[in-house]
Chains A and B, each alone.
Chain A
Amino acid sequence: MFFLETVISGLLAGVMYALVALGFVLIFKASGVFNFAQGVMALFAGLTLVGLMTGTIPITHLTNDALAMPGWLAIIATIAIMMVLAFAIERLILRHLVNQEHIILFMSTLGLAYVLEGAGDILWGSDVKVLDLGLPQGASDWLLDNWGLYVEKIELVAALTAGILVAVLAVFFQKTRIGRALRAVADDHQAALSVGISLRTIWVIVWSVAGVVALVAGVMWGSKSGIQFSLSLIALKALPVLILGGFESIPGAIVGGLIIGVGEKLAEVYGGPIIGGAIENWFAYMLALAFLLFRPQGLFGEKIIERV
């Protein structure tokens, strides 16, 4: 019973990871960039949301109830802000780095992460914020009474949301014209340009969508543990998730997240007492490392054939 609970808890934690990993996959699929700032974007989105809902005036941290918005309006406003952010990122950063090596693009997202983090701190302050969107809190009574399992309702909601999001995104990528264009851009910037795909539009779209995904992730994590700085460190956790699942696979992000989530919990609970706690800190990376040695393309990725 305890084992089952641990597994379920791990699965649900995994869903949370997967949500963040999704944002990474999107951007990677469309622009070949590993967006290190994805985690910070989730943090930033969460901060903006809370700020709007409590009517906080940026920088001064003054709360003015007159400015406070109801939850649904705040979400829409935050989405709009994330789209503006995507626009700004494309204009100020991506546009100037067309066709640079991936490592340079990665490092620019590193810089972006720091910018957003600093900006978030300055605008909204670095204290932990409570996010109350009226999402169900507490443990699921039904599961507790009938099965003796302690599972939080918020995590179930997160799982459901992730599922819907994945389905929507999968359809978007496979079936729509824009999805095709996104895949072309991920393959080769210049080739895509030469067939008339507007890199700029594509990138704004992708980063907006990633921003929305970041917002969802931020909302889920935030409702569970409050909006705090550690959210930005999720970016680091996403790396093992993507290695397991393959950098370009949406289902891979989910599966990878689940495996990491379960693996971490099991390692902590069963391995912890033997080696000494806090294994969670490094387990995911070691697992990713093992994967890199034996199956570098991940579970769902494509095998890379080199040409000379």
Chain B
Amino acid sequence: MFYREAGLFKTSYAADQAVFPIPQDRYFILGVLIIAYVAVPLLIEDYWLNAVMLPFLVYSLAALGLNLLTGYCGLLSLGTGGFLAVGAYTAYKMMTAFPGLDMIFVLLTSGTVTALVGLLFGLPSLRIKGFYVAVATLAAQFFLIWLFYKVGWFYNYNATGQITVTPGYSFGVLVTSQKAEPAAKYLFVLSVVVVFALIAKNIIRGRIGRMWMAVRDQDIAAELIGIRPFPTKLSAFAASSFFIGVAGAMIFANWLGAAESGETFGINESFLVLFMIIIGGLGSILGSFLGAGFMTLMPILLKNTLVDYFGLTAVFAKHMEIMMMGVLIVFFLIVEPNGLARLWQIVKEKLRLWPFPH
């Protein structure tokens, strides 16, 4: 009875199509943003930053990107790792070639380059559908990882083959490398993610989002309506890759500080992000965040309970983690294929009635 739409009458289509039509939702999001922008920076320190907040944020962005392609447009992609790598290596080249460049531009360049690469590997989707597109993305994954490993130009020919981040500034504040303030890194990454989440929402609720979903659900009927499947799929690849590229750049520059092609961005990364959107909810922006949060926290929780509390070995915890991921995937697919986002929706629906039973 406190959370409801009854009594809320929209007098214009614009009001009806707002992002948060229900006032309680608006206040909730506002609250979350206030906590995120004000409370967290005051409390944050290195461990939480690097173990929880940064991975949560960057993976949310990556998951969001993958969700655009796989969740909203129905094209399964196993190449997320490779595209993250493109973003990271582009950032590296940009930062080493143009040291004074503001990080915003570095990120935008990473996104654009990754979008172009994504377009390239999306070309096969002209002829192949759904599940088989996954093969094209697998090819992308293995090829890109090999490329960044083999071709010295990408890591400036240094001996280790690894890329390490140089100091990067945004609006005059240091946001990369270890010398940066945790709060600075955090606020930078947070802002980028918030902006991109808003962009994603706008795309989805508009013409382009509908085209993606139409091609996902009934590509033949969509074509007969006049939606050309091929350009639509390409646009999904481009948008998705842009997001993932930016995420990759931030993984390298703001979070890890260093990366090595196969180790950091191997096929396991692709699966990790895929699991995030499955658990979080395919075709849901909120789901991307929930899934990323879940997968970021789970290893930590497992480690804390199994290793610290039960005293088992870290290796065991790692294996348990792998098993748990598998179990959770299967569990969610059976019980709630629409993931945590749908569970959240169900909670909200119950809230609409609370405290009444029906």
- Please tell me the number of chain A residues within 8 Å of chain B, measured between CB atoms: 46
Tell me whether B132 is interfacial, beta carbon within 8 Å.
yes
* B326/A114 in contact, CB under 8 A: yes
- With an 8 A cutoff between CB atoms, is A126 at the interface? yes
Instruction: Say yes or no: B330 contacts A117, CB within 8 Å.
Output: no
> In residues 82-119 of chain B, which contact A (Cβ within 8 Å)?
none
A278 close to B (CB within 8 Å)? yes
| Cβ contact within 8 Å between A236 and B267 | yes
Q: Which of B130, B145, B328 contacts A103 (CB 8 A)?
A: B130
List, in ascending order, chain A residues with CB within 8 A of B315's CB: 126
Query: Is A108 touching B143 in the complex (CB atoms < 8 A)?
Result: no
In chain A, positions 291-308 with a C-beta closer than 8 Å to chain B are 292-293, 296, 306, 308
| B337 at interface by CB-CB < 8 Å | yes
Question: Which residues of A sit under 8 angstroms from B127, Cβ to Cβ?
Answer: 292-293, 296
Judge whether A118 and B323 touch: CB under 8 Å.
Answer: yes
- Which residue of A is nearest B143, CB measured? A282
Q: In the complex, what distance in Å separates the CA atom of A258 from the CA atom of B324?
A: 36
Contact B329 A108 (CB under 8 A): yes
Give the interface segment out of B23-31, B133-141, B176-184: B133-141
Are the C-beta atoms of B329 and A292 separated by less than 8 Å? no
Partner of B319, one of A93, A97, A118: A118
Rounded to whole angstroms, the CA-CA distance of A288 and B140 in the bound complex is 12
Contact call A118/B321, Cβ cutoff below 8 A: yes
B311, chain A: closest CB distance, angstroms: 15
Q: Indicate if the CB atoms of A107 and B333 lie closer than 8 Å.
A: yes
* Contacts A104-B337, A115-B327 given; does A288 touch B135 at CB 8 Å: yes
Q: Which residues on the B side are within 8 Å of A243 (C-beta)? A: 132, 135
| CB-defined contacts of B344 to chain A, threshold 8 Å | none
A179 to chain B, nearest CB (A): 25
Q: How far is A110 from B279 in the complex, measured between Cα atoms in Å? A: 13
Interface size class of B (residues with CB under 8 A): 35 or more
Residues of chain A in range 251-284 having any CB-CB distance to chain B below 8 Å: 275-279, 281-282
A306 to B218, CA, bound (A): 12
A100-146 at interface with B (beta carbon < 8 Å): 100, 102-104, 106-108, 110-119, 121-122, 126
A111 to B128 alpha-carbon distance, docked (Å): 25
Q: Encode contact with A along B309-348: 1 for CB under 8 Å, 0 otherwise.
A: 0000001100111111111111001100100000000000
Partner among B135, B142, B316, B321 whose Cβ is within 8 Å of the Cβ of A292: B135
**Bound: A126/B324 CA distance, A:** 17
Bound: A306/B323 CA distance, A = 39
User: Looking across the interface, which residue of chain B has its beta carbon closest to that of A243?
Assistant: B135
Q: Does A285 contact B (CB under 8 A)?
A: yes
Question: What B residues does A118 contact at CB under 8 A?
Answer: 319-326
Q: Which residues of A contact B142 (CB under 8 A)?
A: 281-282, 285
Q: Assess whether B131 is in contact with A115, with CB atoms less than 8 Å apart.
A: no
By a CB distance below 8 angstroms, the chain A residues around B320 are 118, 122
Chain B residue contacts of A122, Cβ below 8 A: 316, 319-320, 323
> Taking A115-B327, A117-B326, A118-B326 as contacts, is the C-beta distance between A282 and B139 under 8 angstroms?
yes
Complex Cα spacing A119 to B267, Å: 20
Q: Are A104 and B124 in contact (CB under 8 A)?
A: no
Say whether B246 faces chain A, with CB atoms less than 8 Å apart: no
CB of B44 closer than 8 Å to a CB of A: no
In the assembled complex, A207 has its CB within 8 A of some CB on chain B: no
CB of B48 within 8 Å of the partner chain? no
For A306, list chain B residues within 8 Å (CB): 220
Question: Which residues of chain A have C-beta atoms less than 8 A from B135's C-beta?
Answer: 239-240, 243, 285, 288-289, 292
Most chain B C-beta atoms within 10 Å of own C-beta, residue among A93, A107, A113, A293: A107
Determine whether the beta carbon of A107 is less than 8 Å from that of B132.
no
Q: Does B76 sit within 8 A of A, measured CB to CB?
A: yes
Contact, CB under 8 Å: A111 / B329 = yes
Residues of chain A contacted by B325 (CB below 8 angstroms)? 111, 114, 118
If the complex has contacts A93-B330, A93-B334, A243-B135, are A126 and B319 also in contact, measured as CB distance less than 8 A? yes
B271 at the interface (CB under 8 A from A): yes
Cβ distance B23 to chain A, nearest Cβ, rounded Å? 36
A100 to chain B, nearest CB (A): 7
- A208-247 CB contact bits vs B (8 Å, 1 = yes)? 0000000000000000000000000100100110010000
A107 touches B278 (CB 8 A): yes
Known: A107-B333, A118-B320, A122-B323. A102 touches B131 (CB 8 A): yes
Residue of B nearest to A89 (CB): B330
Taking a contact as CB atoms under 8 Å apart, the answer to whether A286 and B333 are in contact is no
Q: How many angstroms from the CA of A282 to the CA of B271 in the assembled complex?
A: 18
Would you give the 0/1 interface string for B183-205, flagging 1 where the beta carbon is closer than 8 Å to chain A? 00000000000000000000000
- Interface on A for B, CB 8 Å cutoff? 34, 92-93, 96-97, 100, 102-104, 106-108, 110-119, 121-122, 126, 233, 236, 239-240, 243, 275-279, 281-282, 285-286, 288-289, 292-293, 296, 306, 308
Known: A102-B130, A282-B139, A289-B139. 5 other contacts (CB 8 A): A108-B333, A111-B326, A278-B146, A282-B143, A296-B132
User: Could you name 20 residue pairs across A and B whose Cβ atoms are closer than 8 Å?
Assistant: A93-B330, A111-B325, A111-B329, A112-B330, A115-B326, A118-B320, A118-B325, A118-B326, A236-B138, A275-B150, A276-B150, A277-B150, A282-B139, A285-B135, A288-B139, A289-B135, A292-B124, A292-B135, A306-B220, A308-B220
Sort A-B residue pairs by CB-CB distance and give the 10 closest, nearest first.
A118-B323, A114-B326, A111-B329, A115-B326, A285-B139, A118-B322, A282-B142, A111-B330, A121-B319, A282-B143
